[in-house]
Amino acid sequence: NAGVTQTPKFQVLKTGQSMTLQCAQDMNHNSMYWYRQDPGMGLRLIYYSASEGTTDKGEVPNGYNVSRLNKREFSLRLESAAPSQTSVYFCASSEPGQGYEQYFGPGTRLTVT
Partner 1 sequence: GESVGLHLPTLSVQEGDNSIINCAYSNSASDYFIWYKQESGKGPQFIIDIRSNMDKRQGQRVTVLLNKTVKHLSLQIAATQPGDSAVYFCAENIRGSNYKLTFGKGTLLTVNP
Where along the sequence are the contacts to partner 1 (CB under 8 A)? Answer: 4, 31, 33, 35, 40-45, 48, 50, 56, 58, 90, 92, 94, 96, 99-107
What distance lies between CA 106 and its chain's CA centroid? 11
- Pick 5 or 17: Cβ nearer partner 1: 5
Minimum CB separation of residue 32 from partner 1 in Å reads 11
- Pick 2 or 14: Cβ nearer partner 1: 2
Minimum CB separation of residue 17 from partner 1 in Å reads 25
Q: Which of 89, 67, 75 is nearest to 20 (CA)?
A: 75
CA distances from residue 29 to 8, 82, 101 in whole angstroms, order as listed? 22, 32, 11
Minimum CB separation of residue 80 from partner 1 in Å reads 27
Q: Which of 4, 32, 2, 1 is nearest to 104 (CA)?
A: 4
